[in-house]
Chain A
Amino acid sequence: MDFFMTIVDGIILFFRTPPFLLGFIAIVGLIAQKKPINEIIRGGFMAAFGMFIITFGVDVLVGSILPLNNWAAGITDDPDAGGMGVEAYTNEYGSDVGLAMVVGFVLHLAIAFFTKVKTIFLTGHFLWWMPFIFVAIGVGVGMPTWALVIWGGVLSALYWSFMPYLLRPYSRAVIGDDSFTLGHPSAILALVSGTIAKYVGNTEKSTEDLTLPKAFSFFREISIMGAIIIFITYFITGLGGGFTEFEGYTTLFPYALERGLEFGVGLIILLQGVRLLVNEIVPAFEGISTKIIKGAQPAYDAPLFFNYKPNAVIIGFIIAMITSTALILVFNAIGLFTVMLIPLIIPSFFECGLASVMAEGQGGLRGAVIGTFFAAIVMVVLLGVSTYFFRETITDWMLIFGGNDMSLWGSVTGSVAEFFEWIFN
């Protein structure tokens, strides 16, 4: 009996290592698709590599903003501003996230099979990141493993089914038919900007009638934009007396520049990891769902909408970057939130770019401008509020990727979880 338990413990321990579990999930998916053996082995390794690389990527990425956080923590006198941090969280709970992803996807398929809500969520990286944030909320209130998997799985399934379903009218207005809907955490910002644009907009003048300067296309190179903006953030904070030591350098400029590059590098590594991981898992999910669900409507990544209104994306990004940065400066100055917010480069591009596209569909150029302005305000407020609920886990990660549905639903479910924790204690 002891021998048997040792084996069971061994198996459980094995799958608690995230790359092993994700590699295994990919292998099961490839077997289900009846792939040849060489592709099955290859896919298993690629998914495991991907999961490994993601951990390195987030380490570099959050490492690049760590001095800013530490400096802010010194100001606010809160040594726990970052909590355990995303790297420790991923290593410790990554397997629970992986299991929650599988459980969640099965429930998501069940919802599509049994109800009228027939959306199938196929944006690979958010099949990972949604359970990732819900499990973090569970960890924050001390749930045991089995509860983390169920909590993360159920909430992710509800999110994947209903949020894209809500966005259908706005999606239709942009792409002209019902062939797909939005599967991206920008949904709440699109609802805000789209609704405002409907009332204040004017569809007679479109963003796409404008001719934007060619140089603007540069804004789409996100790793470069990110490096530049983080460099500027460090440089200005340093000029304001934020840093007195420049690890390895005697002056501010090269130190700030290196942090900017580090941010860009972290992003590039992270994306490579995510790409390897989702490349092996999404085709399996797609294959299974098209086989089981008749009349399913896929929910796709935000940039699939960008092709329809490319000017709106750039205009939305510029408005969001300016609005959100100004608001962040004000919030940081008055110390509204316990952590210091940094400029939201990635959400300004993807989330607000999408919000702008959806607003354009409802209210033309004017609708896009006004709608995105309000979406950017909502983005910063959501992020600030959500840092409270992720304070013991992944605040550092949310500071870079939050301000969207992950912040919204993290805060909503976090409130519920903390309420019950308070009752039972």
Chain B
Amino acid sequence: MKVLAVCGFGVGSSMILKMTIQKAFKELGVEAEVVNTDISDAGSYKADAIFTSPDFVSDLEKRVKVGLYPVKKYSDLQEVKTQVEKLLEDKK
């Protein structure tokens, strides 16, 4: 599975989000590749899902076809894990 972590600049915040997503997948025992990028670039990647802030979801909705999973607190493992579980449920 390939997952995108997206923030405005694609450098600092999405990096934090990426590390939390990786931890969540590891705890759930699922293999996943996580890549971080910025909002302008998000549409050009092939991915199974995009994790980003609630505010960016409405921007991305029109541009991408994959599932969008909003996360408010990028460093919060519990919140990210809930969304990863939702993603795994949706993919079944």
Contacts and interface: CB of A to CB of B under 8 A. Distances in A.
Interface stretch (B4-12, B24-32, B80-88): B4-12
A279 B39 contact: no
Contact of B13 (A220, A279, A300): A300
Contacts of B19: 282-283, 286
Interface in A245-286: 271, 274-275, 278-279, 282-283, 286
Nearest to B72: A307
| Interface range for A | 35 or more
A81 interface: no
Contact of A122 (B16, B37, B38, B72): B16
A67 interface: no
Contact of A125 (B12, B55, B59): B12
Contact of B40 (A175, A184, A224, A279): A224
Contacts of B39: 220-221
A279 B15 contact: yes
A126 B10 CA distance: 14
A6 B53 CA distance: 54
A304 B11 CA distance: 12
B8 A301 contact: no
A279 B55 contact: no
Overall SS of chain A's interface: helix
Interface string B39-65: 110000000000001110011000000
Given A271-B11, A304-B16, A221 B40 contact: yes
Given A222-B8, A303-B9, A275 B53 contact: no
Nearest to B13: A303
Contacts of A70: none
Interface string A211-228: 000100100111110000
Contacts of B59: 217, 220
Nearest to A275: B11
B13 A124 contact: no
Q: Indicate the size class of the contact surface on chain B.
A: 20 to 34
A300 B40 CA distance: 22
Given A220-B39, A224-B40, A301 B13 contact: yes
B38 A271 contact: yes
Contact of B75 (A124, A223, A302, A304): A304
Interface in A140-190: 175, 179-180, 184
A310 interface: yes
Contact of A303 (B7, B40, B54): B7
B15 A124 contact: yes
Given A175-B73, A271-B9, A275-B11, A307 B54 contact: yes
6 contacts: A214-B58, A217-B59, A301-B16, A303-B7, A303-B13, A304-B75
Given A278-B11, A306-B8, 19 more contacts: A124-B12, A184-B12, A220-B8, A220-B39, A278-B15, A282-B15, A283-B19, A286-B19, A300-B74, A301-B12, A301-B13, A302-B12, A303-B8, A304-B12, A307-B55, A307-B72, A307-B74, A308-B72, A350-B9
